[in-house]
C-alpha cells in the first residue's frame, strides 16, 4: 500500500518538475562537488583605517596643488608647511598651552551638557508632566542657533569662561536630549507591562528597562554632541580670549599666517575625530549584544 502511494506521488510530480525552468549556473568541473553560492545583502565593513582614505587623498591633492603653484601660501599654506609650523609651536610650548585651554573649555561644557541633556530626556521621556514642561523648551532651543545667544550670554554671564562653557553646554544638550528622548519613547510597551507585572520599583524600572532601552539613542546623541562641542568652541574662542586654539588662529589671521590657521583647523579636526572614535568604541562595547548591519 505504501509503495503504491509513493509510486503514484512520483508519477504526479514528474510532469510538474519537468515544466519548471532550469536554474542557470556555471558548468561544474569534473570531479568537483557543487558549491553553494550565497550573496549577502549587508554591505562589507571597511577595514581598519579605511575611513582615512578620503582625507589622505584630499591632503595629497592639496600638497600637489601647492607644490605646483596652484595655491598661493598667502591664501592657503601647504600641508607640509603646516606640519613644520605645528612642530615648531609644539617644541616651544606654545601649542601645548593653547591646546590645554581649549580642551578644558570643550570637555567641561561637554560634560555639563551631556548630563543635563540625559536628565532632561529621562524626566521628559518617562513623565507626561515632564514632557509637557521640558520638550517644548528644548525644541525652541533647537531652533535657535548658538551664535544668536551670544549677546544675551555676555550680558548674563560676562565675557569670561563661564559664558563659553555655558554656551557649549546648551549646544551639546540638544542632540543628547533629542536622541535619548526618542529612544525612550520607542521602548517596546511589552517590557513596560512586564515590569508592572513583576512589580518593579521605579528605580529598578529605570535601571533595568529605561536606561538599557535609551542607550542606542544616547550614544547617537553623544556622537553628535562631541562634534557640536568643538564646532561651538571654534566660534566662542574668537571672543575675548587670550589663550586657546581659537585665539591662536585669530591672532594668525591678523598677521596673515595661514600655516598657523591650518594647524588650528587640523587640531580641531583631529580632536573631533578622536572624540567620535572614543564614543564609537564605547558604544560598541556597551551595545555588543546587538547585531549591527555589516558586522
Which three cell numbers mark 119?
536628565
Number of structural domains (the chain) is 1
53 assigned to some structural domain: no
Q: What is the pLDDT of residue 12?
A: 41
pLDDT of the residue at 39: 53
pLDDT (0 to 100) of residue 47: 60
CATH assignment of the domain containing 125: 1.10.3720.10
Determine, yes or no, domain membership for 67.
Answer: no
How far apart CA 133 and CA 117 sit, in angstroms, is 14
Predicted local distance difference test score (pLDDT) of residue 41: 52
In a domain, 180, yes or no: yes
Question: For residue 111, is it within any domain?
Answer: yes
Question: Residue 171: inside a domain, yes or no?
Answer: yes
The whole-number pLDDT of residue 19 equals 43
Q: Is residue 170 part of a domain?
A: yes
- pLDDT the model gives residue 5: 40
Segments forming the whole domain that contains residue 216:
78-286
Give per-residue pLDDT as tens, 216-236.
Answer: 889 999 999 998 888 888 888
**Domain-located, residue 249:** yes
d(CA 17, CA 14) in angstroms, rounded, equals 5
In a domain, 135, yes or no: yes
Task: Look at residue 171 in the predicted model and tell me its pLDDT.
Answer: 92
Residue ranges of the chain whose pLDDT lies below 70: 1-51, 289-295
Amino acid at each position: 500500500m505504501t509503495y503504491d502511494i509513493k509510486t503514484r506521488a512520483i508519477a504526479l510530480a514528474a510532469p510538474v518538475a519537468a515544466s519548471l525552468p532550469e536554474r542557470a549556473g556555471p558548468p561544474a568541473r569534473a570531479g568537483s562537488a557543487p558549491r553553494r553560492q550565497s550573496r549577502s545583502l549587508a554591505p562589507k565593513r571597511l577595514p581598519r583605517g579605511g575611513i582615512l582614505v578620503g582625507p589622505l587623498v584630499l591632503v595629497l591633492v592639496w600638497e600637489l596643488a601647492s607644490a605646483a603653484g596652484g595655491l598661493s601660501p598667502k591664501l592657503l599654506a601647504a600641508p607640509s608647511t603646516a606640519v613644520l609650523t605645528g612642530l615648531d609651536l609644539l617644541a616651544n610650548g606654545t601649542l601645548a598651552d593653547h591646546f590645554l585651554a581649549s580642551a578644558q573649555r570643550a570637555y567641561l561644557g561637554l560634560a555639563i551638557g551631556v548630563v543635563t541633556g540625559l536628565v532632561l530626556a529621562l524626566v521628559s521621556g518617562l513623565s507626561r508632566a515632564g514632557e509637557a514642561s521640558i520638550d517644548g523648551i528644548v525644541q525652541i532651543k533647537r531652533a535657535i542657533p548658538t551664535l544668536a545667544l551670544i549677546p544675551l550670554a555676555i550680558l548674563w554671564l560676562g565675557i569670561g569662561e563661564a559664558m563659553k562653557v555655558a554656551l557649549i553646554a546648551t549646544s551639546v544638550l540638544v542632540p543628547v536630549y533629542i536622541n535619548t528622548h526618542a529612544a525612550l519613547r520607542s521602548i517596546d510597551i511589552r517590557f513596560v507591562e512586564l515590569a508592572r507585572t513583576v512589580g518593579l520599583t521605579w528605580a529598578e524600572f529605570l535601571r533595568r528597562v529605561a536606561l538599557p532601552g535609551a542607550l542606542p539613542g544616547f550614544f547617537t546623541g553623544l556622537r553628535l554632541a562631541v562634534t557640536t562641542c568643538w564646532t561651538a568652541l571654534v566660534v566662542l574662542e574668537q571672543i575675548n580670549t587670550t589663550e586657546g586654539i581659537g585665539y591662536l588662529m585669530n591672532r594668525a589671521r591678523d598677521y596673515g599666517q595661514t600655516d598657523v590657521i591650518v594647524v588650528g583647523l587640523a587640531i580641531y579636526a583631529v580632536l573631533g575625530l578622536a572624540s567620535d572614535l572614543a564614543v564609537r568604541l564605547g558604544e560598541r562595547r556597551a551595545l555588543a549584544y546587538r547585531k549591527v548591519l555589516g558586522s
